[in-house]
Amino acid sequence: MTEPAQHRDRRRRFNGAERTALYLAADGICQSCGTPLEPGWHADHMQPYSASGPTEILNGQALCPTCNLEKGDSYMKLRKWQEDGLRRFLGTTGDFLTVATPGAGKTTFAVQAAKAMIDRGEISNLIVIVPTAHLRGQWAKSAARSGIKLDSKFVNRNQELARDYDGVVATYQSVAASPLLWRKLACNPRKPSLIILDEVHHAGDAEHLAWGTALSEAFGDAYRRLSLSGTPFRSDAKPIPFLNYDAARRVVPDVNYDYGMALQDLEVVRPVAFPAMDGEARWRFASEHPMAQKLSETDPSTIAAALKAALDPSGNWIPSVLLRAHEELELMRQDKEDCGGLVVASDQAAAHAYAEILRQQTGEQVDVAVSDDPAASKVIEKYEKGDSKWLVAVQMVSEGVDIPRIGVIVYATRIRTEMFFRQVVGRCVRKQGDEDDMCARVFIPSISQLLGYAAAIERTVEAVLADEESKVRRAAVEDDGGQRQAPRTTEVIGSSTAAHAFTINSGDAFEESELLHARRLGQQAGLPPGTEPSAIARLLRLGGGSAQPGKAPEPEVELTLSERKTEVRNLIKRKVGQLSRMTRKPHSHIHAELNRAFSERSIDQATIVTLNDRLVILDRWIAAV
């Protein structure tokens, strides 16, 4: 048989000196089953010669004939960045950090690194630490595909691992709860361990600073440590254990494969477009008159309150955004039948409310995954394997969870850190094979911070972000826009229907009129219904073609005086109910006292000014209780 052209100039067999080195490195036993090697043992390529594996010591292992034949074609083909990173990892001995964009295959890279170390006899124990319980099962399944058996149900009270496992996958919380136990499991010199720290930036979370101390105590003397992160980050004065920093206190990765690089490779991630949804939010701070402002016009002093009002499920903004996102999902499902949507909510109450809104709009069941639900992992797994349209979650799918069929995301959370934003976007960028040419959509409120993140997300980024870790990692706390202010209670009044301001694609903004024109041209050209119109509009711009609007967007409808009064009256009723619970006075008595303070005989006769004054009086009465 004629050897393939790409192999003719490469040596296929290990020479005598290399075979001797492989035998000595294996201590004379098969590196797969552990039986003594007898004459006729095989010098095997870990990356097969047929898959362009080099004939060199670092890619070699000593196997008995039985294990080599059983190995067959089980080798997993790696992407170029994974091959380069694996070669670099196996050629070093110290701590190693891999930063790779969501969807690039960090888990596969780490599993293959562990497998290579096991096959070479360097380690006999693997410990994987992850941020959430759901990821334990996902890691165990990924490792099992490469023949590595991980215990994903281990709890600290077990004390010891069953002998038929190759290692364990646990959470950062488990290590923090008993670092000395994990030191015992990880630092046995007779069982050298590889420690994989998945999404290691969690070890520096401001609210979990003990995690870093626990990791140092538990794994400081382990044989080898491999850290992984899907998001670039910068540490403050409290560095994350086992990472290297430069003079400016920036983390220095050993491998960096960001979204820009992955997008250029055309085989890892999808392009993503960001429809920016504007609209008016209405709220009031305690003892102050109501305020109204468009999301696009907010500043650091109002952005948190406006976003809270827009995301309130009783208003008009979020239901209209969900409807728009669902319409887009339906178009995309004409091209890809199992395409799914994800809504990321701020809290559990909002998550269930959004799910109910979607049920009423679509007439279909909507899955909800929240951390307090013991069945949350099963909900996510069911959604991943099924073809239902929507999943609503809080933070369980913001990081690490792999659901490639997600093509539409609604960013309906008050978290405004760049790290969290990138993690959420990462849930929809992973391609499903070479034939996947879909452009993902992430619907975002049109506030300045998120627009900036969206405009920059497809550009090649550096290994670190400019923000301080203490600001970037505030994953469950409402951001204050960088300005420290005295706490103020925000009372939501209402919100308008969302208006599609523009869509961001590849860093450029495309207004609604231009998108409508582009979509019409796409339909005339016979393009699939789910084709992202901003991609067509971008091509028109690049080619100098016409981008004339097909139809101007409808002007935003202002609330009538009657509608504004209704919103304020509803807020008054909620405050009267609060005061009634505190004082045990009937609602009617409180309303009567309010009427006596004004010339109107009832709340129905009140002007918008005196309605707002009633709110101020109620605030005083509540504060005095």
d(CA 407, CA 403): 10
d(CA 194, CA 118): 9
| pLDDT (tens digit per residue) in 209-250 | 567 888 999 999 999 999 998 765 644 456 788 988 877 777
The average pLDDT across 540-555 equals: 54
Instruction: Give 104-171 as a DSSP string.
Output: S-HHHHHHHHHHHHHHTTS-SEEEEEESSTHHHHHHHHHHHTTT--EESS--GGG-S--TT-SEEEEE
Q: Among 3-17, 161-175, 337-351, 413-427, name the one with the lowest average pLDDT.
A: 3-17
d(CA 482, CA 587): 41
pLDDT score for 306: 92
Place of tokens 């009256």: 569
CATH of domain 271-542: 3.40.50.300
Contact 518, 533 (CB under 8 A): yes
The average pLDDT across 438-444 equals: 89
Percent of the chain with pLDDT over 70: 82
Q: Among 152-156, 267-271, 295-299, name the one with the lowest average pLDDT.
A: 267-271
pLDDT score for 475: 34
Contact 124, 161 (CB under 8 A): no
| pLDDT (tens digit per residue) in 50-76 | 666 788 888 888 888 877 776 654 556
Report the range out of 196-205, 426-435, 522-531 with the highest average pLDDT. 196-205
Place of tokens 């084709």: 531
In the sheet that 224-229 helps form, which strands lie side by side, from edge to edge? Answer: 150-151, 167-171, 125-130, 193-197, 224-229, 96-100, 255-257
Considering the segment(s) 5-71 as one domain, its CATH architecture is 3-Layer(aba) Sandwich (3.40)
Picking from 475, 463, 461, the residue whose alpha carbon sits closest to that of residue 99 is 463
pTM of the model: 0.60
Instruction: Give 513-534 as a DSSP string.
Output: HHHHHHHHHHHHTT--TT--HH
**β-pair type (390-393, 367-369):** parallel
Q: Is CATH 3.40.120.10 the classification given to domain 80-257? A: no
Residue 536: other Cβ atoms inside 10 A: 25
Instruction: Give 91-107 as a DSSP string.
Output: T--S-EEEEE-TTS-HH
Picking from 448, 134, 91, 178, the residue whose alpha carbon sits closest to that of residue 301 is 448
- Would the pLDDT of 515 be above 60? yes
3-state secondary structure of 565: helix
The average pLDDT across 434-444 equals: 81
The average pLDDT across 361-389 equals: 84
pLDDT tier for residue 3 given thresholds of 50, 70 and 90:
very low
pLDDT score for 10: 63
Higher-pLDDT residue of 102, 577 = 577
The average pLDDT across 87-105 equals: 87
Element (H, E) at 355: helix 348-362
Domain boundaries, the chain: 5-71, 80-257, 271-542, 561-624
d(CA 231, CA 246): 18
**What string of H, E and C letters represents the secondary structure of 35-50?**
CECCCCCEEEECCCHH
In 131-279, the DSSP E strands lie at: 150-151, 167-171, 193-197, 224-229, 255-257, 272-278
- Would the pLDDT of 391 be above 90? yes
pLDDT score for 223: 95
The average pLDDT across 471-476 equals: 34
Report the range out of 153-167, 209-223, 252-266, 278-292 with the highest average pLDDT. 153-167
d(CA 303, CA 138): 37
Q: Provide the token pair at 445.
A: 């409120």
The average pLDDT across 375-400 equals: 80
| pLDDT (tens digit per residue) in 554-591 | 455 567 788 788 888 888 888 888 888 788 888 888 88
pLDDT score for 267: 63
- Would the pLDDT of 595 be above 90? no
pLDDT score for 552: 45
| pLDDT (tens digit per residue) in 480-489 | 344 444 445 6
Tell me the CA distances in angstroms from 282 to 112, 233, 304, one per residue in order. Answer: 53, 35, 12
pLDDT score for 174: 94
Alpha carbons within 13 A on the beta-carbon side of 141:
8
3-state secondary structure of 499: strand
Average pLDDT value for the chain: 80
Q: Provide the token pair at 1.
A: 């048989």
pLDDT score for 1: 36
pLDDT tier for residue 435 given thresholds of 50, 70 and 90:
low
| pLDDT (tens digit per residue) in 333-355 | 988 889 999 999 999 999 999 99
pLDDT score for 434: 62
Higher-pLDDT residue of 431, 3 = 431
In 364-482, the DSSP E strands lie at: 367-369, 390-393, 406-412, 440-445
pLDDT score for 471: 35
Picking from 594, 547, 557, the residue whose alpha carbon sits closest to that of residue 572 is 594
Polymer length of the chain: 625
d(CA 414, CA 427): 18
pLDDT tier for residue 380 given thresholds of 50, 70 and 90:
confident
- Would the pLDDT of 400 be above 70? no
pLDDT score for 556: 52
pLDDT score for 18: 85
d(CA 611, CA 356): 32
Report the range out of 279-283, 402-406, 486-490 with the highest average pLDDT. 279-283
Same fold, 5-71 and 271-542: no
Amino acid at 133: A
pLDDT score for 172: 92
Higher-pLDDT residue of 172, 566 = 172
pLDDT tier for residue 469 given thresholds of 50, 70 and 90:
very low
Contact 282, 290 (CB under 8 A): yes
